[in-house]
Amino acid sequence: MENSKIEWTHHTFNSWIGCAHNSPGCLNCYAEAMMDKRYHRVKWGKDGTRSRTSESYWKQPHKWNRKAAERGVTETVFCASLADVFEDRDDLINWRLDLFDEVIEKTPNLIWLLLTKRVDVAAKFLQFRQVPSQVWLGQSICTQRESDVVIPKLAKLQKKVGGIFLSCEPLLEPLDLSALPANWCITGGESGPSARPCDVTWIRSIRDQCKSAEIPVFIKQLGSKPVGVPKLRSAKGGDAEEWPQDLRVREFPVFG
Ligand code: SF4
């Protein structure tokens, strides 16, 4: 994809960098490993620091928007890969408002895929706003417990935004998504040196549940420790050519 290494989006945008763990899925957070432990750009955690990205970087979505408009298309932006847009901290309030008012509102040819692990904060923020229809709200779900708590809350927000999506990654156990209110579902196993195993039957089950509910599903990767397939060459299990044919499902919703 154009400005992202992530297979399911055209662009990735981080309004700021830094976050705090908020889910079992955060245990091996790659953003923390990179931006705290490796580059020392911020201190991770509740009492850590957050770093706003540069003014020139904030201009990029406007450039993507102009190009998309010229071509008469819409393109997707994943926001954020190195933070959580809805982290609840006083120092992020104005940055979040800037993101909505100065960037999202002014880029109608971009579909904003806001992925959070904090649906309660998202609900509070979106409650009194006129949310542009190109905003899609996504929640990460790794365990059944998270699913049971989060899905009813997401369902309440579905009419407020352009679409709802789930990111079931890293998938840590089988999930029953029977009450699924989503317009799109992304799933995959965990990657990295400390990755936890992901049984491909869990991924197949999500694929089948989405199919029954007529929800497009995107299988991103089988993870670094996939169970139920022969050893893969790709470290993240992200090369679909190596997978059993039935797992090669990479569907997109109709955005708009
Ligand atoms: S919410 Fe995302 S960015 Fe924040 S700690 Fe968890 S995995 Fe990392």
Question: Ligand 1 center to residue 140 CA distance, Å?
Answer: 10
Question: Ligand 1 center to residue 156 CA distance, Å?
Answer: 23
Domain locations along the chain: 1-110, 141-256
What pLDDT was estimated at residue 239? 95
Q: Whose CA is nearest to atom 3 of ligand 1?
A: 83
Q: What is the atom index within ligand 1 of the atom nearest the CA of 81?
A: 3
CA–CA gap between residue 65 and residue 210 (Å, rounded): 31
pLDDT above 60: residue 154: yes
**Above pLDDT 70, what percent of the chain?**
98
> How many C-beta atoms lie closer than 10 Å to residue 56's C-beta?
7
Average pLDDT over residues 36-53: 98
In 3D space, the residue among 228, 227, 210 whose CA is nearest the CA of residue 219 turns out to be 210
What pLDDT was estimated at residue 179? 74
User: Mean pLDDT score of the chain, rounded to an integer?
Assistant: 95
Q: Whose CA is nearest to atom 7 of ligand 1?
A: 26
Give the containing element (helix H, strand E) for 137. strand 135-140
Q: Using alpha carbons only, what angle is made at residue 139 by residues 137 and 140, rounded to the nearest 5 degrees?
A: 150
Pocket of ligand 1 (CB under 6 A): 19, 21-22, 25-26, 29, 31-32, 83-84, 117
pLDDT above 60: residue 139: yes
CA–CA gap between residue 79 and residue 97 (Å, rounded): 14
pLDDT above 90: residue 181: no
In 3D space, the residue among 159, 156, 230, 222 whose CA is nearest the CA of residue 195 turns out to be 222
Q: Whose CA is nearest to atom 8 of ligand 1?
A: 29
What pLDDT was estimated at residue 36? 98
**Could you read off the pLDDT of 45-92 as tens digits, one per residue?**
999 999 999 999 999 999 999 999 999 999 999 999 999 999 999 999
